[in-house]
Amino acid sequence: MLRDFFLGSIKIHILYHADVEPIYGAFLMEELASHGYEISPGTLYPTLNSLYTNGLLHKYEETVNGKVRKYYTITDKGRLTLEEGKQQVRELAREVLNENHRRNE
């Protein structure tokens, strides 16, 4: 259940990094792991493909050390989605982390 909840956060994280520089799967696995997201290739690569298919990422290939590596960069649509996602994260964080908030009892 928690895994499903964090998949949205992972997508925003992917878009963020694709906006900073070209990204690829192995880099993302390390980057996400450094933030506590243990994601398998069986989850990561379909997620990247979904973001690409939905027009949020652009994909190109380069040969690195004799192997073909797929790189992803953000598209204009992806950048717009990222900005909307950031706004939702800000609003959620303000509400959820508001320590002055009391439950009505």
Domain annotation covers residue 47: yes
Give the predicted TM-score (pTM) of the model: 0.84
Give strand pairing partners of 72. 23, 59
Report the CATH number that the domain containing residue 76 is assigned in CATH: 1.10.10.10
Task: Give the closest residue to 57 by CA, choosing from 89, 29, 30, 79.
Answer: 79
E runs forming strands in 1-105? 57-64, 67-74
Domain annotation covers residue 103: no
| pLDDT confidence of residue 97 | 84
Q: How many domains does the chain have?
A: 1
**Is 90 exceeded by the pLDDT of residue 22?**
yes
Task: Give the closest residue to 26 by CA, choosing from 38, 16, 15, 41.
Answer: 41
Token pair recorded at residue 67: 């192997």
Token pair recorded at residue 91: 């609003």
**Is 60 exceeded by the pLDDT of residue 5?**
yes
Domain annotation covers residue 41: yes
Instruction: Determine the structural domain holding residue 85 and report its residue range.
Output: 2-96
Which position has the token pair 């290739």? 41
Domain annotation covers residue 105: no
Domain annotation covers residue 104: no
Higher pLDDT, 36 or 24: 24
Domain annotation covers residue 102: no
**Is 90 exceeded by the pLDDT of residue 20?**
yes
The residue count of the chain comes to 105
pLDDT in tens, 39-56: 899 999 999 999 999 999
